[in-house]
């Protein structure tokens, strides 16, 4: 069984640190990491390979430095990795990203399953999986939290829906996006790291996958970001002073004010 | 002046610490400044009331558990007082009640409240903010430990394999004595002549101290007073278990944080393979900063805990065949160098009967957190199990060894522990700092009989470890629980010498009563 896992590089921390002197963002090389949800997709793919046989390919689109993360995926059991990297792809929204990934998948040849994390923690769109499946013309199931069985023809999966669980059977090839409940990702081993240093890695440009420049990158992206801003949190902390009775009276006043 | 509060039931938590031992007290205070500490000590000690000093109460030897008298709780003295730069190194001045966790947060985020700092310290802070990230290397498992408590027991932790214990990073300190006078000591400025100190307080009083004459074991050691020829006075106070005075200020030396920190857990089928690996690893070029151990009992507790409690469900799965685990940490400047060290570790573990496939390597924050969770889950799970058993039989407490031996005795001491545990049929979990031949053998008594057998076994081990040239307490301090073993280790005459040295600081024997030795050790002299 051939399994493809799509992964994305995201910043390792949500916490942006400001230099207290210069007030600029501290960029101290704290690494970017594999999108946490994608780590579950990698683990599930490797587990399927271990039970059903076959091979796992990791696929990503990003800057050349993403190679490091693809090799990290190899240290966790992925067999080979492909990176789509080209200026033509720069500035892609989810549609253009899905387009590029679909070309990458086609380039890889026949496959049984594509696994993605249910969303990326930086953009939070959860669109790539479904869009990629549509572009490839294959069925998809989102937020899978258990794969119950897999044969050459179909997969039976459990999906968390609003307040209930759905069990679905899906014809292969298909795409699944997975939630955090699906497994517990393993840590790489020394043997895995040795493999990842030399494991097969391919870098593909836009021309290699036959990308139409009109549909790729910024020109292929209908999404326009009009503005980004940090939400203002208006919270205030007031300390009440005085005797217990005075403090209680002050609380009452505050509550009345809120009700108004 | 800060109030001395009559002891009320609402303060009950201040009667115990992590040793799970409970004491009693008549009064308690929560000073916020050195001035307040001086006032309280003057008043309380003049009345002849014993004083027990407390920090985070995370100690495992009951040093902070009061046996009557006054509790001086320093948890509100938790400010960072300033920072200093000298020869490219940074030194941070803190109050003793500052929790390690808070210090770490401040260092990582480079965020301290600088209000009230001297101008030159504000300047140094600007330099500190520009400099690469700094860290305080002592890393006990419990990060709510206070710096004062860590100094009092000369704490260490996993990374002490490379960096040594807390003592190495305490540059200066202020110590308030029972009469309210203050001793201000800075490393390098007051050395013993032979084994004799002559110290001058800020009030102009001269204190002569005759140091104990024992030879300290050449191992990791937190057993009794540090005593050696021509030693530094700072070192005498560090590790003194709250028996000489109240530390009100500490200056800590910081180190630049290594840019690359990787962790690797290696699993083995037998304990012997793990021990063989540790010996090879110590001699190898991998230069680990930490070498830690988890035995089969510890791994089994984790497997059970993972099944039983959702809080532990995020623990990685430990395969059934694994009967021992060694964790090593690599600290490096560059990833390339770290990779070389990692492969070296791989070669050594293969040569010891392990497999490179049976390892967990953490190279990013997420994976590191997982390994850390794993390491911390062991003591936590053991404590939970003990608490459950205590409900059935309140006499039961955890019995935890904290002994260390020289490198040459590692196999011997592991065999000693294993033989004793098997002979007595005791349930146990062992983990700790195997790189320093320092294992925490934790006996999990099922009933009062097990508890009694365990205590007896520890006494036996204390004798044998001493004979190997080891220490009865390597990092937890002696406190009240191990005072007995300290006598086994040094003998009565040396204990008397320690008590005499204490007397020079605390003539009425009011501070930390019951810590290190029984208060009546000089009884016959006092008459």
pLDDT per position as a tens digit, B245-258:
999 999 999 999 99
User: Does B357 map to a domain?
Assistant: yes
Domain co-membership, B251 together with B138:
yes
Beta bridge partners of B359: B266
Q: What is the pTM of this model?
A: 0.88
| Nearest-by-Cβ selection for B345 from A17, A184, A190 | A190
- SS3 for B268-323 is ECCHHHHHHHHHHHHHCCCCCCEEEEEEHHHHHHHHHHHHHCHHHCCCCCCCCCCC
Beta bridge partners of B73: B54
Domain co-membership, B219 together with B265:
no
Q: Which of A189, A191, A192, A195 should be substituted to probe chain B, the one whose Cβ sees the most B Cβ atoms within 10 Å?
A: A189
DSSP code of residue B476: S
CA distance B429 to chain A (A): 24
Taking 50 as the threshold, does the pLDDT of residue B524 lie above it?
A: no
Taking 70 as the threshold, does the pLDDT of residue A248 lie above it?
A: yes
Beta bridge partners of A84: A61, A204
Please check whether residue A28 touches B, CB under 8 A: yes
Closest CA to B75 of B51, B95, B46: B95
User: Does B496 map to a domain?
Assistant: no
Please check whether residue A50 touches B, CB under 8 A: no
Domain co-membership, B281 together with B430:
yes
Does the distance separating the beta carbons of A194 and B356 come in below 8 Å? Answer: yes
Domain co-membership, B141 together with B228:
yes
Q: Which two tokens stand for residue A217?
A: 């990158």
- C-alpha separations of A256 from A237, A239, A251, B309, B426 in Å: 17, 17, 9, 44, 63
Domain co-membership, B31 together with B140:
no
- Residue ranges and CATH numbers for the domains of chain A are 2-14+25-234 (3.40.50.620)
Domain co-membership, B34 together with B134:
no
Q: What angle do CA B304, B307, B312 make, to 5 degrees?
A: 90
CATH code for the domain in which residue B270 is found: 3.40.462.10
Taking 70 as the threshold, does the pLDDT of residue A26 lie above it?
A: no
Report how far residue A96's alpha carbon sits from residue A208's, in angstroms, rounded to the nearest whole number.
16
Closest CA to B239 of B77, B479, B50, B441: B479
User: Does B481 map to a domain?
Assistant: no
What range does the domain containing B24 cover?
A: 5-73
Taking 70 as the threshold, does the pLDDT of residue B523 lie above it?
A: no
CA B279 to chain centre: 24
When mean pLDDT is compared across A16-30, B295-309, B510-524, the lowest value belongs to A16-30
Can you tell me the mean pLDDT for B96-107? 97
Where does a domain end: B222, B256, B290?
B256
Closest CA to B216 of B235, B192, B198: B235
Banded model confidence at residue B105, pLDDT cuts 50, 70, 90: very high
CATH code for the domain in which residue B240 is found: 3.30.465.10
Where does a domain end: B43, B73, B103?
B73
Phi first, then psi, for residue B378 (nearest 5°) are -65, -60
Domain co-membership, B63 together with B179:
no
Banded model confidence at residue B526, pLDDT cuts 50, 70, 90: very low
Summarised one tens digit per residue, pLDDT across range A90-112 is 888 999 999 999 999 999 999 99
Does the distance separating the beta carbons of B361 and A187 come in below 8 Å? Answer: yes
User: Does B491 map to a domain?
Assistant: no
User: Does B518 map to a domain?
Assistant: no
Report how far residue A233's alpha carbon sits from residue B153's, in angstroms, rounded to the nearest whole number.
44
Report how far residue B452's alpha carbon sits from residue B445's, in angstroms, rounded to the nearest whole number.
9
Taking 90 as the threshold, does the pLDDT of residue A132 lie above it?
A: yes
User: Does B510 map to a domain?
Assistant: no
CATH code for the domain in which residue B19 is found: 3.30.43.10
Residue window 310-339, chain B: list those with CB within 8 Å of chain A: 314, 316-317, 339
**H/E element holding B262?**
strand B260-268
Summarised one tens digit per residue, pLDDT across range B38-58 is 999 999 999 999 999 999 999
Which residue does chain B place closest to A180, by CA atoms? B314
Where does a domain end: B236, B256, B276?
B256
Give the pLDDT of residue A141: 97
Report how far residue B384's alpha carbon sits from residue A89's, in angstroms, rounded to the nearest whole number.
54
Summarised one tens digit per residue, pLDDT across range A156-206 is 999 988 888 999 999 999 999 999 999 999 999 999 999 999 999 999 999
Taking 70 as the threshold, does the pLDDT of residue B525 lie above it?
A: no
Domain co-membership, B349 together with B461:
yes
Give the pLDDT of residue A121: 81
Domain co-membership, B117 together with B171:
yes
Banded model confidence at residue B386, pLDDT cuts 50, 70, 90: confident
Domain co-membership, B172 together with B308:
no
Report how far residue A71's alpha carbon sits from residue A193's, in angstroms, rounded to the nearest whole number.
8
CA distance A121 to chain B (A): 14
Can you tell me the mean pLDDT for A10-19? 62
Give the pLDDT of residue A16: 54
Report the number of distinct structural domains present in chain B.
3
Domain co-membership, B233 together with B296:
no
The pLDDT mean for chain A works out to: 89
CA distance B358 to chain A (A): 7
When mean pLDDT is compared across B229-238, B319-328, B445-454, B518-527, the lowest value belongs to B518-527
Report how far residue A162's alpha carbon sits from residue A166's, in angstroms, rounded to the nearest whole number.
10
- C-alpha separations of B476 from B254, B484, B511 in Å: 22, 15, 19
User: Does B159 map to a domain?
Assistant: yes
Summarised one tens digit per residue, pLDDT across range B178-208 is 999 999 999 999 999 999 999 999 999 999 9
Helix, strand, coil % over all residues of chain B, rounded to 5:
40, 20, 40
- Find out whether A51 and A44 touch, Cβ atoms under 8 Å: no
| Nearest-by-Cβ selection for A33 from B110, B111, B366 | B366
Domain co-membership, B124 together with B19:
no
């Amino acid at each position: 069984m051939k399994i493809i896992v799509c992964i994305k590089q995201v910043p390792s921390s949500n916490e942006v640190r400001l230099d207290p002197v210069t007030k600029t963002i501290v960029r101290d090389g704290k690494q970017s990491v594999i999108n946490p949800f994608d780590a579950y997709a990698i683990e599930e793919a490797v587990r399927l390979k271990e039970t059903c046989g076959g091979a796992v390919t990791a696929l990503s689109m990003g800057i050349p430095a993403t190679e490091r993360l693809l090799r990290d995926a190899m240290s966790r059991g992925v067999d080979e990795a492909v990176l789509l990297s080209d200026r033509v792809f720069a500035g892609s929204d989810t549609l253009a990203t899905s387009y590029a990934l679909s070309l990458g998948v086609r380039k890889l040849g026949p496959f049984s399953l594509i696994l993605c994390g249910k969303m990326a923690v930086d953009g939070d769109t959860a669109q790539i999986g479904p869009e990629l499946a549509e572009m490839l013309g294959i069925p998809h199931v989102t937020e899978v939290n258990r794969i119950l069985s897999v044969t050459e023809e179909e997969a039976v999966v459990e999906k968390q829906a609003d307040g209930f669980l759905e069990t679905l059977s899906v014809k292969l090839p298909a795409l699944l996006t997975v939630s955090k409940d699906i497994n517990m990702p393993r840590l790489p081993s020394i043997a895995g790291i040795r493999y990842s240093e030399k494991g097969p890695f391919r870098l593909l440009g836009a021309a290699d996958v036959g990308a139409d420049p009109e549909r790729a990158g910024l020109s292929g992206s209908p999404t326009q970001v009009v503005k980004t801003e940090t939400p203002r949190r208006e919270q205030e902390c007031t300390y009440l002073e005085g005797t217990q009775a005075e403090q209680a009276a002050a609380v009452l006043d505050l509550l009345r004010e809120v009700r108004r | 002046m800060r109030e001395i509060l009559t002891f009320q039931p609402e303060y009950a938590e201040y009667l115990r610490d992590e040793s799970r031992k409970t004491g009693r007290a008549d009064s308690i205070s929560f000073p916020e400044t050195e001035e307040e500490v001086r006032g309280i000590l003057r008043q309380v000690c003049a009345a002849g009331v014993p004083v027990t000093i407390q920090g985070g109460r995370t100690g495992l030897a009951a040093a902070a558990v009061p046996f009557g008298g006054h509790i001086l709780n320093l948890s509100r003295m938790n400010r960072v007082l300033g920072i200093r730069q000298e020869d490219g190194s940074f030194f941070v001045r803190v109050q003793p009640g500052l929790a390690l966790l808070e210090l770490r947060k401040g260092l990582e985020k480079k965020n301290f409240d600088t209000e009230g700092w001297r101008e030159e310290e504000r300047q140094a802070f600007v330099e500190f903010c520009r400099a690469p990230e700094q860290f305080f290397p002592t890393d006990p498992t419990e990060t709510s430990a206070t710096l004062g408590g860590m100094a009092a027991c000369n704490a260490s932790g996993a990374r002490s394999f490379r960096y040594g214990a807390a003592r190495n990073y305490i540059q200066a300190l202020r110590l308030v004595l029972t009469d309210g006078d203050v001793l201000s000591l800075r490393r390098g400025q007051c050395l013993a002549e032979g084994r004799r100190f002559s110290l001058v307080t800020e009030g102009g009083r001269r204190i002569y101290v005759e140091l104990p004459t024992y030879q300290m074991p050449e191992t990791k050691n937190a057993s009794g007073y540090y005593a050696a020829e021509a030693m530094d006075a700072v070192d005498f106070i560090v590790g003194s278990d709250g028996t000489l005075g109240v530390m009100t200020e500490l200056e800590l030396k910081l180190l630049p944080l290594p840019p690359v920190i990787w962790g690797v857990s290696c699993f083995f089928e037998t304990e012997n393979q793990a021990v063989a690996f540790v010996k090879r690893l110590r001699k190898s070029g991998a230069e680990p900063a930490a070498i830690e151990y988890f035995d089969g009992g510890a791994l089994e507790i984790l497997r059970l805990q993972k099944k039983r409690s959702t809080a532990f469900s995020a623990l990685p799965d430990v395969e059934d065949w694994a009967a021992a685990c060694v964790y090593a940490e690599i600290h490096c400047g560059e990833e390339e160098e770290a990779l070389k060290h990692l492969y070296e570790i791989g070669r050594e573990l293969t040569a010891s009967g392990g497999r490179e496939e049976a390892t967990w390597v953490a190279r990013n924050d997420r994976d590191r957190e997982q390994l850390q969770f794993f390491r911390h889950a062991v003591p936590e799970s053991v404590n939970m199990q003990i608490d459950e058993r205590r409900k059935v039989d309140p006499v039961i407490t955890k019995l935890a060894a904290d002994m260390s031996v020289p490198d040459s005795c590692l196999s011997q001491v592991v065999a000693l522990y294993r033989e004793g545990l098997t002979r007595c049929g005791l349930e146990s979990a062992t983990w700790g700092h195997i790189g320093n031949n320092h294992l925490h053998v934790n006996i999990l008594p099922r009933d009062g009989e097990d508890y009694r057998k365990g205590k007896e076994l520890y006494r036996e081990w204390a004798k044998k470890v001493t004979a190997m040239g080891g220490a009865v307490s390597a990092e937890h301090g002696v406190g009240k629980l191990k005072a007995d073993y300290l006598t086994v280790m040094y003998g009565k005459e040396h204990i008397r010498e320690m008590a005499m040295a204490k007397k020079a600081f605390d003539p009425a024997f009011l501070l930390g009563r019951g810590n290190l030795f029984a208060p009546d050790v000089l009884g016959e002299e006092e008459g």
